[in-house]
Structure 1
Amino acid sequence: MNLHALRLFHVIASTGSVTRASETLNISQPAITAQIKKFEKELSFALFKPQGRGIALTDAGEELALLAKRLFAVEQQIEQFTQDYVNGTNGSIRLAATYLPAHFLIPTWIAKFKQQYEQVEMVITTTNSSDALKQLLNVDVDMAIYGGITEAYPDTIRTEELFQDELWFVVAPHHPYANQQISLSEMMKEPFVMREEGSSTRERLLSLCRTYNTPGPTISLQFNGLHEAIQAVIAGYGANFVSSLVVREYVERGELCRVYVEGILLKNSIAICTRKNEPLSASAANLIQMIRQNPYTM
């Protein structure tokens, strides 16, 4: 079927005359008339009939006009979708995040992003650092938001550090080490409440002990989530080594206290990881740009 001729017919049917269609399309009336006659011959039935000084649709023309209206409405929807997708106002983003940014940064980032890009679908997976990187390498996600030690990533991964936060040792307020300065070896004698293996902060603590040739901590309680680990320490059991983003408010309210370990001042890196040499969708690029403009939301 000649879609150009169908479009001419659609405009004539919509405007009510060849004259108005000619003005709308900026095509001469004789050219439109010739195309319509050729189209009618192709279809083997008439689309228009004389009516007074003008024309009217035949019964077949009425039916075809309804179908053409639906067709070109869908065409407009496709054009709008394409434009929205290119501009990043439509589409989807798959994101893996480690627990730190997932719980303390991403909710605010996503809320701000969705206010501007409501139609973009978001799929967010919260996991540990090793699995987040694995998902990115396996093309299961478009990007990973990573909170942990700066690492040597594979050559196929691009990283962009957003900011750094401190890592703190914390205990309950009644603990004898609360607000005290002690040695690392003394600190490691305390039972620790930590996240599961694969947690970047847990690995950072073990690495710290190896660096200073100090026996590693006894991890007496292990949780899959940050909140549970923190609540156990608040309740009075053991110590934790954790990002200041996680516990700053608890410390300010007096529910937790810092322990100042001599000679230890470590920082955590909050970074965006993407795959090199692979273009991001416009919606994903818009999210990263928004995060760059508002990296620290606490």
Structure 2
Amino acid sequence: MDLRNVRYFIAVAENGSITEASNALRISQPPLSMAMAKLEKELGVTLFDRKPRGIELTAAGEYLHHAGRRLLAEERRISDTLKSMGQGLAGELHLGCEPMCLWRIGSTKISQFLSIYRNVTLDLTDANPRVQLDRLADGTLDLAIMPIVAEEPLQAVNGVHFDVTVVDELPLTLIAPKAWGLDESEPLDVASQKDSTWILPARIPGVRILWRIWADKFAPSGAAPTEVIQVPTVMTAAQLVGAGVGVSLSSLEMARLHPDVARVPVVGGWPNVPIAIVRRKEGIVTPIAERFVELFQGD
């Protein structure tokens, strides 16, 4: 299977038509159409149905879209690894980091790494764990730094399984609007906030984290809050808390960034959340990624 044709197919799949893909690839349509026909003949399957306004992937096409992205990412890693062996450590680190983890540990390690390896460039994805797992699975990321729940192993994505190495812990706090005047020195019974509006990052299938901790904290009282606003990120939640909309659960580091937010202790505290480096269980890990992981091993 010609990797060039796989690359062409992915462009067609992601642009939605032969015409748009040919523009993106800067080649004319006839050679691209011929390459797609050759790929389908070689594989013995129909990869997409031709429609009047573009293409629609078949089941085989969907599979090749995901698998092909992984294949091309592995090709890049092989190339980067061989170049690193011959020329010293140089190339790109494709890293994902969840926002709370970025403030807790990620930014410091990134700065340290780039100061040591000046010929390495960083491609950083600052996103929630679901996005990071998807991008690890399709090969877009080399590594991801994210909070995990020890009792809930990460689920495979498109058949890709993950290795998890815990490197730190994330302290949590209840945050409330400063304007509410809640006591920041005396622990609060969290059950007293069951009638408050809670603001939490949207539920992510297979990666519950804050929702799991939040639910476990209210379980003994037998009455969880009914008013919950789901938002895209923890940063959005903190901004809405500062504006007086409600309360939330945040990392200590992120809470300190918001002067309009009070960090309120609760009776019994919150469990620290493990922070892990996550990578694909199978697949090439570049020397650059390995060196980055090594920075955490002396802590």
Give 1:240's aligned amino acid: S
The runs of 5 or more residues in structure 2 that have no matched partner are 1-80
Larger Rg, first or second structure (1 or 2): 1
For residue 14 of structure 1, what is the aligned residue in structure 2?
Answer: none
Structure 1 pair 89/212, CA: closer, same or farther in 2 (3 Å)?
farther
Structure 1 residue 83, shift from structure 2 partner: 6.1
Q: Conserved in 1, the CA contact under 8 Å of 2:98 and 2:126?
A: yes
For residue 160 of structure 1, what is the aligned residue in structure 2?
Answer: 165
Q: Say which of 203, 206, 209 aligns to 1:200.
A: 209
For residue 184 of structure 1, what is the aligned residue in structure 2?
Answer: 190
Give the TM-score normalised by the residue count of structure 1.
0.60
For residue 94 of structure 2, what is the aligned residue in structure 1?
Answer: 94
Counterparts of 1:1-298 in structure 2, within 5 Å, are: 82=82, 84-85=84-85, 89-150=89-150, 151-154=152-155, 156-179=161-184, 180-198=186-204, 200-210=209-219, 213-220=222-229, 222-248=230-256, 250=258, 255-293=260-298
Q: Conserved in 1, the CA contact under 8 Å of 2:201 and 2:233?
A: yes
| Superposition RMSD in Å | 3.0
Q: Conserved in 2, the CA contact under 8 Å of 1:148 and 1:270?
A: yes
- How many residues align? The count is 210
The runs of 5 or more residues in structure 1 that have no matched partner are 1-80
Q: Conserved in 2, the CA contact under 8 Å of 1:171 and 1:178?
A: no
* CA distance in structure 1 between the partners assigned to 2:183 and 2:198 by the alignment: 15
- Output one character per residue of 1:39-85: Cα deviation in whole Å (capped at 9) or x when no partner: xxxxxxxxxxxxxxxxxxxxxxxxxxxxxxxxxxxxxxxxxx95634
Structure 1 pair 204/111, CA: closer, same or farther in 2 (3 Å)?
same
Give 1:227's aligned amino acid: M
Q: Conserved in 1, the CA contact under 8 Å of 2:191 and 2:221?
A: no
* CA distance in structure 2 between the partners assigned to 1:87 and 1:286 by the alignment: 16
Q: Percent identity?
A: 17
Give 2:153's aligned amino acid: A
Structure 1 residue 161, shift from structure 2 partner: 0.9
Give 2:177's aligned amino acid: A
Give 2:278's aligned amino acid: C
